[in-house]
Amino acid sequence: MGNYRDIEKDFIERTIRLINQYNENVHKYEFAEQFNYTLTINCLLGLIVMPKERVITYVPNDRLTTQYKEEIGLPTSEIGEGIETLRDLIYQLRHAVAHFNINVISESPENLIDWVEFIDQENNNRLIAKLRAIEILPFLKHYSHCLLTNLNNYRN
């Protein structure tokens, strides 16, 4: 298990590894016992909240163009008005995650999770983002990789 050498970087890396370990073993469980989205939402605390609080300046400030949204794994997800950059998105997601202003949306009679909606309750339930469930993990992996690259390249 070991100690953290650099808590911010190690926590991000370990959180992604935790998700990967789970996904490698999820097939061992009955469908009703597979909690992949529960784990992913829990891991948002480590991948969204901690960076915003500790290393926000290392979060890429790239504009959320249609092309960039595809590149980061969010081609069909919706981003709320006024959120122009990846850093803006992470900053706003932090508030929704930390206060659990999250809704899950199902489009199927089986009640499967199709979307995860993040809202800003302090601003009349303004939409921060509506992420397609299957896009969350690719997005988190890409975003985490970019953040770790910036931490490695620009921090002591």
pLDDT per residue over 52-101, tens digit each?
888 999 999 999 999 999 999 999 999 999 999 999 999 999 999 999 99
At residue 1, the pLDDT reads 60
Task: Give, in order, the Cα–Cα distances in Å from 151 to each of 59, 71, 111, 121.
Answer: 9, 20, 39, 32
CB neighbours (10 Å) of residue 22?
Answer: 16
In the chain, where the domains are located: 7-154
Per-residue pLDDT averaged across 7-21, rounded?
90
Question: Which amino acid, residue 54?
Answer: R
Task: Give, in order, the Cα–Cα distances in Å from 15 to each of 9, 63, 143.
Answer: 10, 26, 13
Q: How many CA atoms lie within 13 A of 56 on its CB side?
A: 12
Whole-number percent of the chain with pLDDT over 70: 98
At residue 114, the pLDDT reads 94
